[in-house]
Amino acid sequence: MSIQTTQLRKTYNQDTDFPVHAVKQLDLSIEQGEFVAVMGPSGSGKTTLLNMIGGIDIPSAGTVIIDGIDICALKDKALIAFRRDNIGFIFQDYSLLPVLTALENVEFVMQLQGHSEKECRERAITLLDQVGLGEQLHKIPSKLSGGQQQRVAVARALAPSPRFVMADEPTANLDAKSTAELLDIMQQLNEKEGTTFIFSTHDPRVIKRARRVIVFEDGQLTEDRAQ
């Protein structure tokens, strides 16, 4: 169970005079259970990479193979279902539904999978408890702090029991304390449940906690180290 990219490339504005090579010829392999930080300056292509291996963006060339499935070849509908069941997303701006409560935000993605209401409720409460929001179940996002919202987002990403979680600069908007709390939670989940986390960042405190660091510069992998 792994993510495998071969000769992965993404070029924006391909047919114009100023093509942007966001990701260049990338061969990368990430195993189940890893806790990986993708590091690099702004504009180096981290977001583009995460989007492609998360199946929400299409590469210009090359393949992304997850558990033997070439996700680039999947049809729209199958791809959405694949993402729903296998990949969780955590976004920099949290991206919770503002009209739903914390609990409903988490339940919602499980309901998309077709679980019963009772199942969704139980798992959502368990997860929100785990991220320390057992007391805030019925608050809407705007009534929560940034750190709390991001923890709801973590619960939401994990609710459908995905095997991979893509987190694009999850701590960029958080203060030091919230960042540390969030990393604790992610690390725990990684260790306990074996969920693979791939997160991009340029925050040295976050990089310190990663077990594998991929350094990205100008669309190219310049360093890949375990720590």
Partner 1 sequence: MLIKLAWRNLWRNKLRTAIMLSAMAFGLIGVVTMIGFMNGMYGNMIDNAISWQTSHVQVHHQDFVDNPETTLAIVEPELITAELDKISEVIAWSERFIVDGMVASARSSRGVRVNGVDIDAEARVTPIASSVKEGSWLPAEGRHPVVVSLKTAQRLRLKLGSKVVITFSNAEKDVTGAAFRVSGFFSTPSSNFDDGNIYVRRTDLMAMAGIDGSHEIAVLLDDKNKMSNALAISVRDKIRLITSSENSVRDWQQIQPMLASIIAQMGPSNAILLGIFVLAMGFGVVNIMLMSVFERTREFGVLMAVGMQKHKVFALIIFETSLLGVTGATLGLMSSLGLIELLQITGIPLGNMAEGLGAFGVDTTLYPQVAASEYRYIFITVVLVCVLAALYPARQILKQRPVDAMAEKH
Ligand X SMILES: Nc1ncnc2c1ncn2[C@@H]1O[C@H](COP(=O)(O)OP(=O)(O)O)[C@@H](O)[C@H]1O
Q: Which residues bind partner 1 (CB under 8 A)?
A: 51, 54, 56-58, 76-77, 80-81, 83-85, 88-89, 91, 95, 97-100, 104, 107-109, 111-113, 156, 160
Q: Look up tokens 């990430």; give the residue.
A: 30
Stretch that binds ligand X, among 1-9, 36-44, 59-67, 159-167 (CB under 6 A): 36-44
Q: What is the spatial distance between Cα 226 and Cα 18, in angstroms, rounded to a whole number?
A: 36
φ/ψ region of 68 (left if φ > 0, alpha if ψ in -120 to 50, else beta) reads left
Q: Which helix (H) or strand (E) holds 204?
A: helix 204-209
Within positions 160 to 179, which residues make up the interface with ligand X, using CB under 6 A? none
Could you tell me the smallest distance in angstroms from the CB atom of residue 89 to partner 1?
5
Q: Which residue's CB is nearer to ligand X, number 95 or number 130? A: 95
What order do you get walking across the sheet with 61-66 strand by strand? 20-31, 2-12, 61-66, 69-70
Q: Which of 44, 47, 105, 201 binds Mg ion (CB under 5 A)?
A: 47
Q: Assess 222 for contact with ligand X (CB under 6 A).
A: no
Q: What is the spatial distance between Cα 140 and Cα 119, in angstroms, rounded to a whole number?
A: 21
Residues of this chain that interact with ligand X (CB under 6 A) are 12-13, 20, 22, 40, 42-48
Chain residues binding Mg ion by CB under 5 A are 47
